[in-house]
Amino acid sequence: MDEDMEAVVTQVEEKLGYPAIVKPANLGSSVGIGIARNRTSLETAVEEALEYASKLVIEPLIGELKEINCSVLGDTEHAEASVLEEVLKTEEILSYADKYQGSSNGGSKSSGGSKGTSGGMESTDRIIPAPVSDERTEEIQSLGVRTFKALGCGGVSRIDFMIDETNDSVYVNEINTIPGSLSFYLWEPAGKDFQTLTHDMIQLALKRQRDRERLTFSIDSNLFSLQGGGGGKGGSKGGSKK
């Protein structure tokens, strides 16, 4: 075992224990993900994941997992959460085949999930709205909005959550900033059709552009006032005139 691998193994065994899950940090679609149940399978999973990325995420494996996704639309000032979906898995981890090739054992259980013929997240087996309590739904929607704002997102995103059913804890797993099918199927149930969703996204993009132009303008005018020689060296940051 080389030094790097030894350091990984030591850290995982000290901090996490087994079973753990090993994921490439910057891929998607469950590519390169492996489960480590002991030192040998940890080494194999790390080697495999390193084929796909130089940065890995290793975390405790949630044994009884419920996967819930929530779309968020807006910007850092105002953002709203969609209805939730539960994504159903058929294997130990929601595999590439489940996401992109549809399920082999029966059709979609959702009201909105069987529309797509083009594959992608649109045809994954899902239940909408997710069968969780009202309080849990609100908690996840609020976590979704907070995550979206904390990351400074704009437009439409989909935030994926994991619930550990052994102790009922909820985790933010990842954010998809350009979600498959723009998550339109999570907005439709609340009456926002695809056209309205894209209209909203365009309005948000225009607002973002206006905000950006305002920022650039005030930086330009500060530089200008410094060059003008009147302001002296320490040119005040708030000194731009409207």
Ligand X SMILES: Nc1ncnc2c1ncn2[C@@H]1O[C@H](COP(=O)(O)OP(=O)(O)O)[C@@H](O)[C@H]1O
194 to each of 112, 153, 202, how far by Cα in Å?
Answer: 13, 20, 12
CB 188 within 8 A of CB 194: yes
Give Cα 177 to chain centroid, integer Å.
6
Pick the closer one to ligand X by CB: 132 or 204. Answer: 132
Residue 12 found at the interface with ligand X (CB under 6 A): no
Residue 89 found at the interface with ligand X (CB under 6 A): yes
Dihedral sign for Cα atoms in the order 177, 16, 63, 33? positive
H-helix or E-strand spanning residue 126: strand 126-127
Dihedral sign for Cα atoms in the order 133, 100, 94, 55? negative
Minimum distance from residue 178 beta carbon to ligand X (Å): 13
Residue 125 found at the interface with ligand X (CB under 6 A): no
Closest CA to 159 of 171, 170, 169, 144: 144
Pick the closer one to ligand X by CB: 67 or 188. Answer: 67
Residue 16 found at the interface with ligand X (CB under 6 A): no
Residue 121 found at the interface with ligand X (CB under 6 A): no
**Contact region with ligand X (CB under 6 A), list: 23-31, 39-47, 100-108, 119-127:** 23-31
Residue 211 found at the interface with ligand X (CB under 6 A): no
Residue 67 found at the interface with ligand X (CB under 6 A): yes
Residue 27 found at the interface with ligand X (CB under 6 A): yes
Among 29, 114, 181, 222, which residue sits at the site for ligand X (rule: CB under 6 A)? 29
